[in-house]
Amino acid sequence: MAVAARKTSGGGRTDRGAAAETAVDPAVSEVPANNPPPFTEAEDLSAYHEMLLIRRFEEKAGQLYGMGLIGGFCHLYIGQEAVVVGMQMAANEGDEVITGYRDHGHMLACGMDPRGVMAELTGRRGGYSKGKGGSMHMFSKEKAFYGGHGIVGAQVSLGTGLGLANWYREDGKVALVYFGDGAANQGQVYESFNMAELWKLPVVYIIENNKYAMGTSVNRASAQTDFSKRGVSFNIPGEQVDGMDVRAVREAGQRAIDFARSGKGPYILEMQTYRYRGHSMSDPAKYRTKDEVAKMREERDPIEMVRKRLLESHKVGEDELKKIDAKVREIVNDSAEFASHDPEPDPAELWTDILVEVRA
């Protein structure tokens, strides 16, 4: 009965599955018209190194997952490297970073030890969380990285609290709160926007629009796909940024961070980016065409863009880039080697870190 009723009354609706049939989603290939100032050679070299480290690290993590050394859920950041690297170039030391579960790139960009991150992925003693957190849950107060959270959108209210603590302590720091286009549809995001603007908290909300909320494209999941407008009714300024161009990210990031640090309140940056891999390692990403991914890799790859600039504009030699490549591979291989041989956690760890005073 219920099924029949839905069929007859549903004539006015658009077919919600239709967008999935489109070969290349038009929203995917749109690029915001940012025109950022050029990087110096040193800046491009630094960005190249940082982004390459994330990419190679993630590729290695993918391999270790395939070998069964990494279990659980493992979300790779490949394709999105320019976002966190550009933002970190704009941030001050001590500005806090918090994100969801696609967090490896953020941790590396915050300067966390690749060995400690990889060893957490393999669940070893030397991992940042001593093997108790895994891919989605790491933390480093020293590097101002506040996790690593597995519930979609929850880091937005927590991150607002980081800004609240900055405001409370008047320490001049800004909280950088990362979440995706999928998390942008969670309710607590808007509670957070309201509170942050009401109290003029020093928070930059960075919406990493990688075009897919798990397996659902932005057009099929979001009524308003311009995420920079999501703060309009709270009077929070926002802008769309070419998140594949590290220069555009750094420039917009600087503007947003300066705004927040000066006491004017929060700022929203929608980073138009793209993830090359599936949502997690267990996702074959059949909801999009191979052409769409190939086109993005070919035309918009954040690392290739910098590499090209280094070779053509800065006249950096291939040899020098090869040296960077080799150095990055060495760091990544070392982390994998460490993470493969570091001992597994002692069973006694099971009972530590639950409460200050542990009582069975």
Partner 1 sequence: MAIMTYADAAKAGLAEEMRRDPHVWAVGEDLGRGGVFGQYGGMLAEFGPERISDAPISEACIMGAAVGAAMMGTRPVVEMRFSDFALCAIDELVNQAAKARYMFGGQARVPLVVREPIGMWRSSAAQHSQSLESWYTHIPGLVVVCPSSPADNKGLLKTAIRSDDPVVYMEHKGLWPVEGEVPEGDHLVPFGKANVLREGRDVTIVSWSAQVHLCMKAAEQLAKDGIEAEVIDLRTLWPWDKDRVLASVEKTGRLIVAQEAVSVSGFGAEIAATVSETLHGALKAPVKRLGAPRIPVSYAPPLEDKARVTADQIAAAATALVGR
* Residues contributing to the site for partner 1 (CB under 8 A): 96, 98, 127-133, 137-141, 146-151, 154, 156-166, 168-169, 175, 187-188, 191-192, 194-195, 198, 352-357, 359
Closest C-alpha to 37, from 238, 250, 197: 250
- CA angle 75-26-15, nearest 5°? 90
Residue 250: HSE in the Cβ half-sphere, 13 Å Cα cutoff: 20
The Cα–Cα gap between 187 and 115 comes to 36
| Residue 293 phi, psi (nearest 5) | -65, -45
Please give the Cα distance from 184 to 188 (Å, whole number): 9
Pick the closer one to partner 1 by CB: 27 or 156: 156
Q: Residue 142 Cβ, how far from partner 1 at the closest point, in Å?
A: 9
**In whole angstroms, how close is the CB of 274 to partner 1 at the nearest point?**
29
User: Given the complex with partner 1, which of 58 and 103 has the nearer CB atom?
Assistant: 103
Minimum Å gap between C-beta 214 and partner 1 is: 18
Looking at the Cβ atoms of 93 and 357, the one nearer to partner 1 is 357
Alpha-carbon distance 254 to 119, whole Å?
Answer: 33
| Of 290 and 359, CB closest to partner 1 | 359
Shortest distance, position 100 Cβ to partner 1, whole Å: 12
Q: Which two tokens stand for residue 81?
A: 């490297």
d(CA 258, CA 95): 12
Name the residue nearer to partner 1 (CB basis): 179 or 276.
Answer: 179
Quote the least distance from Cβ 358 to partner 1, whole Å.
9
* Helix (H), strand (E) at residue 56: helix 41-66
Residue placing its CB nearer to partner 1 in the complex, 79 or 153: 153
Q: How far is the CB of 233 from partner 1 (least distance, A)?
A: 14
- CA dihedral for 238, 239, 245, 248, sign (positive or negative): negative
8 Å CB contact between 331 and 324:
no
CA distance 82 to 205: 16
CB of 200 to partner 1, least distance (A): 12
CA 56 – CA 240 distance, rounded (Å): 28
255 touches 174 (CB < 8 A): no
User: Is the Cβ of residue 48 or residue 146 nearer to partner 1 in the bound state?
Assistant: 146
